[in-house]
Amino acid sequence: MSLRAKKELNNELNLTPFIDLLSTLVCFLLISAVWVTVASMDLKQSHGTEAAAPRESAEMDVTLDGPASATLNLKFAGKAVHKVSFKEESTQALLAKFSETLPQIKKHPALKGALIESVLVSPHQKVTHGEMVSVLDGLRLQGLSNIGIKPTEGK
Amino acid sequence: MSLTVGSKLINTGRFEYHLLTRKQKGNRAKKVLLVALMLTSLVDMFSMLVCFLLQTFSTTPEIYVANDVKLPEALSGGVVKEAPVLSVTKTALFLDQKEIGSMAKILKSPEPLLKGLEGFKQKWAKENPGKPYPGEINLQADKEMPSTDVAKLMGILNTQQYDVIQLAVLGAQ
Residue B86: its pLDDT value, please?
92
CB A76 within 8 A of CB A110: yes
Q: Which of A134, A136, A154 sits opposite B148 (nearest CB)?
A: A154
Q: Has residue A1 got a pLDDT over 50?
A: no
Whether residue B112 lies inside any domain: the answer is: yes
**Contact across the interface for A39 and B148, Cβ inside 8 Å:** no
**Contact across the interface for A129 and B146, Cβ inside 8 Å:** yes
Q: Which of A18, A41, A44 sits opposite B163 (nearest CB)?
A: A44
Range B7-23 average pLDDT = 65
Domain segments of chain A as ranges: 58-149
- Residue-range definition of the domain harbouring residue B48: 2-56
Residue B57: its pLDDT value, please?
81
Going by C-beta distance under 8 Å and a sequence separation of 6 or more, which residues neighbour residue B131? Answer: B124
Distance in angstroms (rounded) separating the CA atoms of residues A118 and B63 = 28
Going by C-beta distance under 8 Å and a sequence separation of 6 or more, which residues neighbour residue B158? Answer: A45, A47, A151
Q: Which of A10-14, A87-91, A113-117 has the highest mean pLDDT?
A: A87-91
Whether residue B10 lies inside any domain: the answer is: yes
- Enumerate the residues of chain B whose CB falls inside 8 A of the CB of residue A44: 163-164
CB B17 within 8 A of CB B3: yes
**Contact across the interface for B74 and A39, Cβ inside 8 Å:** yes
Confidence tier at A78 by pLDDT (50, 70, 90): confident
CB A146 within 8 A of CB A118: yes
Confidence tier at A4 by pLDDT (50, 70, 90): low
Q: What is the pLDDT of residues B34-65, one digit of tens each?
A: 777 778 888 899 999 999 988 888 777 777 78
Task: State whether B107 and B37 are in the same domain.
Answer: no
Amino acid at A84: V
Instruction: Kindly report the CATH class assigned to A58-149.
Output: alpha beta
Distance in angstroms (rounded) separating the CA atoms of residues A133 and A139 = 10
Using alpha carbons, select from A143, A134, A82 the residue that is nearest to residue A116.
A143
Average model confidence (pLDDT) across chain B? 82
Distance in angstroms (rounded) separating the CA atoms of residues A43 and A66 = 21
Residue A80: its pLDDT value, please?
86
Range A100-116 average pLDDT = 84
Shortest Cα–Cα distance, B29 to chain A (Å): 31
Task: State whether B40 and B87 are in the same domain.
Answer: no
Give chain B's domain count: 2
Q: What is the pLDDT of residues B77-121, one digit of tens each?
A: 888 888 899 999 888 899 988 899 888 898 888 899 999 999 998
DSSP secondary structure of B7-54: TEEEE--HHHHHHHHHHHHHTSSSPPPP----HHHHHHHHHHHHHHHH
Q: Which residue of A has its CA nearest to B54?
A: A29
- Chain A contact probe: residue of B18, B147, B158 with most A CBs at under 10 A: B147
Distance in angstroms (rounded) separating the CA atoms of residues B16 and B119 = 66
- Chain A contact probe: residue of B59, B148, B150, B156 with most A CBs at under 10 A: B148
Residue B159: its pLDDT value, please?
87
Confidence tier at A49 by pLDDT (50, 70, 90): very low
